Structure 1
Amino acid sequence: MARYCVLLACALLALLGLGDGKKDPDCCGPVVPRREWRALESECSKTLKQPVRYVVISHTAGSSCNTPELCLQQVRNVQYYHARTLGWCDVAYNFLIGEDGLVYEGRGWELKGDHTGAVWNTRSIGISFMGNYMERSPPPRALRAAQKLLACGVARGSLSRNYEVKGHRDVQQTLSPGDQLYEIIRTWDRYRE
């Protein structure tokens, strides 16, 4: 029960737009660590050379979640599919964004993901929004969470100061991150096709 209270407090902070990763490099806004979403143990070991130059934004194209409780279950579902069904070493993404306004730690800043193919996985951070954004947009609190995470990545030295954001479809043949989310990220200052 205490864990859910902490998550609800983080969600409230996210909704209010509080927290600033630029002032505190260790504060990426409300990030739910792996232990709190009860992640399976990672078997990954390949690291990323930092600072990373690229960020690839995708969507899971599966169920969305709008409460910490639902998002905890959804991130576990995504990890189970990637690790147990597909046989990967862990969840594919470095971070996942819930519609609850929280960031869920996947492989984190240091480990190479399996989100965008052999060429891009070795030089990018993969951030996936949980849900399908072909016909609808993520809520503002989820978009703010992603922006805060990017600012934090720069502040902590994990992302290059001149990093570029790309949509999953910019680097691989896919519909991800969905038409609506893609139109949004194309307006971000760091977006490059």
Structure 2
Amino acid sequence: MRSKVTVFLNFIFALFCSGYSQTLNRGSIPVKVPLQCTGLSYIPRSVWRARPEKPTIINLRIPIPHVFIHHTSSETCYDVESCSSTIRKIQMDHQQTKHDIGYHFLIGGDGQIYEGRVWHYRGFIVDNYNTKSISIAFIGDYTDDIPSENMIAATRNLLRCLSEKNYIKQEFEVHGHRDAESTFCPGDKLYQQIQTWPEYRLID
């Protein structure tokens, strides 16, 4: 009897896991999956006091193949208070026409990683790639300014974790926003930096 019960429970568990994975990838129900990354200096939405996202949220298909790098074209921030204030302003601006902040992650001048929209929710920043990419924004304007080593290191650590967890593909590609659209984003200096990364690819 015990063996039959065990088999039955294992079947139910496997069925649940299969349905959960398919639901996330199908994109029909916005299941929030927490970011399971250790060793990152990570600031969640609750700390920067995000406003609730609006309805109409669709999941990305996991693992995600593309990562786009942006800059916010704002002043650089150097602590949680100033970075939080900047991110709230960005969210407020984006929510004028969209359901939430467009970036999945934001990198502060303090070297912290700030949670943007839920990492597996579809964004709206890069046309033609919103269904298959995540967006990481460096807070500041990097047309002439060079991003700090702390910001670069934080981003590299984030990408490493996302890849190890299979949230993004093992062979993921990094692009600048300007690679997909006519824009100066992510700024000349930041764009020059990401072009040196091994995952950087031009878009055909």
Fold conserved between structures, TM > 0.5: yes
Q: What is aligned with 2:155? A: 146
User: TM-score scaled to structure 2, two decimals?
Assistant: 0.79
Write out per-residue CA displacement over residues 138-176 of structure 1, whole angstroms, 9 at most, x where no aligned residue.
111011111111011112211100000000000111000
Q: Secondary structure at the match of 1:35?
A: helix
1:99 paired with 2:109, answer yes
How big is the alpha-carbon RMSD for the aligned residues of Structure 1 and Structure 2? 1.4
Q: Is contact 1:28-1:152 (8 Å) kept?
A: no
Q: What is aligned with 2:178? A: 169
Question: For residues 102-181 of structure 1, what are the structure 2 equivalents within 5 Å?
Answer: 102-117=112-127, 119-181=128-190
- The residue identity in structure 1 corresponding to 2:196 is T
- The residue identity in structure 1 corresponding to 2:134 is I
1: distance between equivalents of 2:108 and 2:134?
17
1: distance between equivalents of 2:142 and 2:37?
30
Question: For residues 1-193 of structure 1, what are the structure 2 equivalents within 5 Å?
Answer: 25-27=36-38, 29-43=40-54, 44-84=56-96, 87-117=97-127, 119-193=128-202
Q: Is contact 1:28-1:149 (8 Å) kept?
A: no
Q: Residues 28, 54 of structure 1: CA spacing in aligned structure 2 closer, same or farther, 3 A cutoff?
A: farther
Write out per-residue CA displacement over residues 70-114 of structure 1, whole angstroms, 9 at most, x where no aligned residue.
111111111111113xx2100011111111101111113210111
2: distance between equivalents of 1:138 and 1:68?
17
Write out per-residue CA displacement over residues 116-143 of structure 1, whole angstroms, 9 at most, x where no aligned residue.
12x1111101001111000011111011
2: distance between equivalents of 1:190 and 1:108?
23
* Structure 1 alignment gaps of length 5 or more: 1-23
Return the offset for 1:25: 4.8
Q: Secondary structure at the match of 1:48?
A: coil
Please identify runs of 4+ aligned residues in structure 1 that moved more than 2 A.
Answer: none
Return the offset for 1:26: 2.5
1: distance between equivalents of 2:165 and 2:115?
15
| Count of residues in correspondence between the two structures | 167
Q: Among the aligned pairs, what percent are the same residue? A: 37
Q: Secondary structure at the match of 1:74?
A: helix
Larger radius of gyration: 2
1: distance between equivalents of 2:51 and 2:160?
28
